[in-house]
Amino acid sequence: MSCSDFAHRLCTVDAKLSDATVSLLILPNALFPCCSIIVTTVQYLSSALHKNFTETDFDFKVWNSYFSLAVLFINQPSLQLEIIMSAKRKKILDKYGDMRVMMAYELFSMWQNLGEHKIHFIPGMIGPFLGVTLVPQPEVRNIMIPIFHDMMDWEQRKNGNFKQVGRRLVVLGLPPPPLAVNLKLIRMARRRSRGNELCLGRLESC
């Protein structure tokens, strides 16, 4: 199996999603530990993906599967903590944090790493990313909105306009994020990317 096929299989969860959901319903105590493992795995996968499937070795299938995985993870009903009683929600947040936010930061960081390949995901990822902004978590929304500004910029470069992205943003009435939010997210994404590369390097040296 090629490295590309392995990464694609690792990222693709759609086929097994229903089985996994059933298993977690049977064993509810396993839900959040399993989700935490997924987040950690994706963090290591992000470094490998950026290292091996960008630049000349860019693989659309692998990157598309990665983004689809992140979107599915953030949107899964079991992680929508707002519907959980406040006492239980506090325990979950104290132990695991808000894993939707963690995954959103990974998604944002990887989007920044795409460089000129971002254009391959316009307009295909506009809808899925917009779906993430509808998650009832303000920080997730703030993380995702700058991506649409970036999409508009890349569509403008390619087509001379940003009609595809612009129409969808207008329909949902998404507000433009403050410049400070954009700069803060970009700095955090860069630090996170460097940290992941260091972790991957330590693993490879073992």
pLDDT digits (tens, 9 = 90+) for 73-87: 999 888 999 988 999
d(CA 56, CA 179): 32
- The pTM for the full model equals 0.73
Per-residue confidence (pLDDT) for residue 194, from 0 to 100: 58
pLDDT reading at 29 higher than 70: no
Per-residue confidence (pLDDT) for residue 71, from 0 to 100: 93
Per-residue confidence (pLDDT) for residue 187, from 0 to 100: 58
* Mean pLDDT, residues 134-152: 92
Give the CA angle between residues 61, 137, 63 to the nearest 5°: 10
The count of C-alpha atoms lying within 13 angstroms of the C-alpha of 76, restricted to the half-sphere facing its C-beta, is 24
Per-residue confidence (pLDDT) for residue 11, from 0 to 100: 54
Percentage above 90 pLDDT, the chain: 33
Per-residue confidence (pLDDT) for residue 54, from 0 to 100: 82
Instruction: Pick 202 or 52 by higher pLDDT.
Output: 52
| Candidate ranges 30-39, 113-122, 174-183; pick with highest mean pLDDT | 113-122
pLDDT in tens, 144-177: 989 988 998 898 888 888 888 877 666 655 554 4
SS3 of 130, please?
A: helix
d(CA 129, CA 84): 24
| Measured torsion, CA atoms of residues 12, 128, 184, 198, in degrees rounded to the nearest 10 | 10
